[in-house]
Structure 1
Amino acid sequence: MILGFAHPAVVVSDLERSRDFYSAAFGFRVLSDEGWSDTPEVDAAIGSGDSRCRGYMLAGHNCFLEIFEFENPQQTGPEPSTLGPHERGLRHLSFFVDDVEAEYERVLALGAQALGAPQKASGITAVYLRDPDGNIIELCECPTPEEDLRRLPGIKALQEWANV
């Protein structure tokens, strides 16, 4: 039985910078330290070899976000900042906000890079930015009452837990 979506994971170039960015920009807090080295079981599980990394599991308003900085193996793929929103694969993390324009300016001041400018289409305001590693972030207002996060099961319990 599927219990729920657990978390996305983002590989970053500077773990502490990314922790600080996601904490300041979106209110994430460190839930636990993550990471490993010289662990054949982890390598076997993730399909890698001699992997070493540090990381954090972050707790947010209604989700978890895992961030990792790998020491080994070295990156061989393209830099995230070279990939557009149309490329295959996971392309962005989306955050519902109450005021896209205000949050856009605030997140830019925290080190994000503009990819677009806030636009309103079909009654919804949204914009794409890049985090300090070039990963795409979407800021958008709730498009419909049905997509209001407060309607999701468990949100009230998570809000109470986060305020402890």
Structure 2
Amino acid sequence: MPKVSYCSVFVDDQERALGFYRDALGFEVKHDVPMGEHRWLTLTGPGDPDGAQLALEPAEHPAVKPFREALVEDGIPATAFEVDDVAAEVERLSGRGVTVVQPPTPAGPVTIAVVDDTCGNLIQLFST
């Protein structure tokens, strides 16, 4: 059976993205390998070093910019991460200067919120 090993998020600036995903959200660096002007930069969930990896991909392909701009304009998150308590996580992130685009909102069986990753993406957080 297939399983998720990597999930990519295209970012404008890998160093700034690292600041958001590692320092604000709490992901842990798995790989940080120089590759010319960019890096093979992957992170895993906190305390899950063998879990699925989030690859912070340089947004260099010409199709990426208009795609991401359209998603942001329409308010569509690039990806979603589950958290234990959305309200508490949004409060924690707000205290760290993260821009909250959509505050915690009930949506059927989950509560969702959306934040700006500072690198061209909206990121949804949810809890059940």
1:106 aligned partner: 92
Partners of 1:25 and 1:76 in 2: CA distance: 24
Secondary structure, counterpart of 1:78 in structure 2: helix
Q: Which structure's relative contact order is higher, taking Cα pairs within 8 Å and 6+ residues apart?
A: 2
CA distance, structure 2, for counterparts of residue 67 and residue 59 of structure 1:
11
Partner residue of 1:77?
A: 65
More strand by share: 2
Q: Distance in 1 between matches of 2:74 and 2:79?
A: 14
CA, structure 1 residues 55+75, in 2 after alignment: closer, same or farther (shift >3 Å)? Answer: farther
% of aligned pairs identical?
29
DSSP 3-state at the match of 1:116: strand
Cα shift at 1:131? 0.7
Change over 3 Å in CA distance of 1:118–1:74 after alignment to 2? same
Deviation (angstroms), 1:93: 1.9
Deviation string, structure 1 residues 63-85 (Cα, Å, up to 9, x no partner): 31011336x66787327354324
Provide the C-alpha distance between the structure 1 equivalents of 2:63 and 2:95, rounded to a whole number of angstroms.
Answer: 28
When normalised by structure 2's length, the TM-score is 0.73
Largest Rg, 1 or 2 = 1
SS at match of 2:6: coil
Letter paired with 2:68 = P
Aligned length, in residue pairs:
122
Which residue of structure 2 aligns with residue 10 of structure 1? 9
Distance 1:102 1:36, change over 3 A: same
Q: 1:85 to 1:34 in 2, by over 3 A?
A: farther
Deviation at 1:132, TM superposition (A): 0.7
Q: CA RMSD in A?
A: 2.8
| Aligned-pair CA distance for 1:111 | 4.2
Matched residue, 1:63? 52
- Which residues of 2 match residues 9-158 of structure 1 at below 5 A? 9-37=8-36, 53-60=38-45, 61=48, 62-69=51-58, 77-78=65-66, 80=68, 82-86=72-76, 91-142=77-128
CA deviation map 1:16-43 (0-9, x unaligned): 2211211123321111123534xxxxxx
- With the length of structure 1 as denominator, give the TM-score of the two structures: 0.60
